Chains A and B, each alone.
Chain A
């Protein structure tokens, strides 16, 4: 079954953003791997993103390291801490994003709010716009707190990506859908980021529940860690986000080339799954 709607059928009042159009133009669910920005160091991070893209990633999510990432599990926590110890700063990740976008990579950032506030929201979204960043996921900003951020980002053509969770009530999903742009990030597990042995049994039902409220593309992430899980999710979502599993491969490898080979193989294998290779 195709999860995609005919663009002509959308009832969404605003014109589709550049990010939404990436989903609509693909005609298949997007493969969206995540990397901790600047990890294990800025140059290697660039190589990691290139390996993602070379092996079939459609869009890359780059995380901005934060000292207290409370939506993240141990893998992303320790990679973020390692990047910070190496002196990686927000400006470094913006620079990496800019380089990638120049190479034609579609980039979305993930940042906790405090980092954006400290940098200055206007300056931050200016830099996002200038660097070709399509959207920013802010995992500690629920819809009620997103108004100012959305206005600042929207004025610069950048989407603030809102999240929906299995615990979100229908009332909340309606509010999220009303305010969302780009795509909606559907959190696949009740928990922090990181690998899970299996996906929630009610995940398809949850995604269907979100879809009742919106015409926007829906991407699923948090705990998707195998090609089989990605294939399952691609059966009902418009994008599959894989994070911790890839970060962990880099963390466990003895050298950059070994890490690049491992993530390359994995991304290629996911990309070759039936629903993701159409």
Chain B
């Protein structure tokens, strides 16, 4: 049962030769341990006792009334460290320990994946270095402090625009140099094979729990799933379980930033061109010479100029609809959910919400197209505490 390296034409392993043996080693370790009862039991125990899984599936009554369909929120914001990122880092740290790696590295944008990585490194007593763009360090002071508190070293990256893309380059360069004793915990369903598969599998717990929970609450599968898509790990984690259920409509929402035509967005699927970034073939924001462009989103976690290769494939297949929401729409949704349900969502997750809240559909309805009896699960991938300062700044108030 060799893992596929590609999703249709997408994915692959476009990295320097120095890394290929390490990727082969990782793939072999994952092949072994994903079927290993001891590994599965240890991960299950950590997911429940440490990360707080299963996360609740919450019926959002007031939001449902506003949006015009039955909306459930999958509460990944309640997982330990405040987002779905912990699902992946727990799985990968167990692999790293079994491979005998002594040092962990990671890249981070907003700092959520960096915090989730620093957390599991602390739990297992491993050395942890997190690469973070200098610009992001400035914007996300709180998460930088959390990582340092957890014992990680945060390494500023000044190349490029000093954001997630550049931090990822630097993490890969570190890995090339330290590959013999280092494991790279990549934060999303991107990078060279086997990462997109491995991260997806660790995130697929979101969809598995959702299926079981909705069957209890509604006695049937949902009619729709909505999730935000930056690089795409929370969305794949939700969608994976339902890809083969044709009755389930799936919607991924990208960051339209200041508008798709502004050139300042993170909508790789809407506006990208097929190419290579960080080791895999996917849709990439690039200029006509193949130089990678900077992405933009008010949500740092969506500020990435490419997307997981499996999303590119699902787009081409037409299995998932990919939509987008602007910074302003996300900011409005951020406030709406806070007031309607007493839940402050991450700005990333607010993009998914913004799609459901959008007005101006045909016949006076909303463009989402769901009827009042339709059951829709929105993946609330993270909590918004980290975003209150940037939201306050964008709203022109003092936090």
Contacts and interface: CB of A to CB of B under 8 A. Distances in A.
| A, B: real partners | yes
Interface of A: 66-68, 70-71, 73-74, 77-78, 81, 84, 89-90, 112-119, 139-145, 162-169, 172, 176, 187, 189-192
B289 A144 contact: no
Residues of B in contact with A, size category: 35 or more
Which has the most chain B C-beta neighbours within 10 Å: A70, A74, A117, A192?
A70
A213 to B, nearest CB: 14
A169 B22 CA distance: 10
A196 B74 CA distance: 51
B176 A192 contact: yes
B3 to A, nearest CB: 14
A118 B289 CA distance: 6
B18 A165 contact: yes
A114 B292 contact: yes
Given A67-B160, A140-B279, A192 B17 contact: no
B13 A145 contact: yes
Contact of A77 (B20, B159, B165, B292): B159
Contacts of A166: 18
Which has the most chain A C-beta neighbours within 10 Å: B16, B21, B284?
B16
B16 A140 contact: yes
A114 B286 contact: yes
29 contacts: A66-B290, A67-B292, A70-B172, A70-B176, A73-B173, A74-B159, A89-B289, A90-B290, A113-B14, A114-B275, A117-B275, A117-B290, A140-B15, A140-B279, A142-B13, A142-B14, A142-B17, A144-B20, A145-B14, A163-B16, A167-B20, A168-B17, A169-B24, A172-B17, A190-B176, A190-B179, A190-B180, A191-B18, A192-B176
B18 A190 contact: yes
A114 B18 contact: no
Contact of A68 (B169, B176, B179): B169
B102 to A, nearest CB: 16
Contacts of A163: 16-17
Interface in B1-48: 12-22, 24
B17 A117 contact: no
Contacts of B290: 66, 90, 114-119
Contacts of A168: 17, 20-21
A144 B21 CA distance: 12
A144 B290 CA distance: 22
Contact of B176 (A78, A142, A144, A191): A191
A67 B15 contact: no
Given A139-B16, A164-B17, A167-B18, A71 B176 contact: yes
A66 B293 CA distance: 11
B277 A114 contact: yes
A90 B277 CA distance: 18
A220 to B, nearest CB: 14
Nearest to B273: A118
Contacts of B16: 70-71, 139-140, 142, 163, 165, 187
Given A84-B291, A112-B276, 14 more contacts: A66-B291, A70-B169, A70-B176, A74-B159, A113-B14, A142-B14, A142-B20, A165-B16, A165-B17, A165-B20, A167-B20, A172-B17, A189-B177, A191-B18
A172 B176 CA distance: 17
Contacts of A90: 289-290
Contact of B275 (A74, A81, A118): A118
B275 to A, nearest CB: 5
Contacts of A66: 290-291
B25 to A, nearest CB: 9
B291 A167 contact: no
Which has the most chain A C-beta neighbours within 10 Å: B16, B17, B24, B279?
B17
Given A67-B160, A68-B169, A167-B22, A144 B13 contact: yes
A167 B273 CA distance: 33
B358 interface: no
A140 B176 CA distance: 12
Contacts of A70: 15-16, 169, 172-173, 176, 278
A116 B289 CA distance: 9
Contacts of B159: 74, 77-78, 81
A-B pairs, 5 with minimum CB distance: A118-B290, A191-B177, A165-B18, A67-B291, A163-B17
A187 B179 CA distance: 14
A167 B14 CA distance: 16
A167 B179 contact: yes
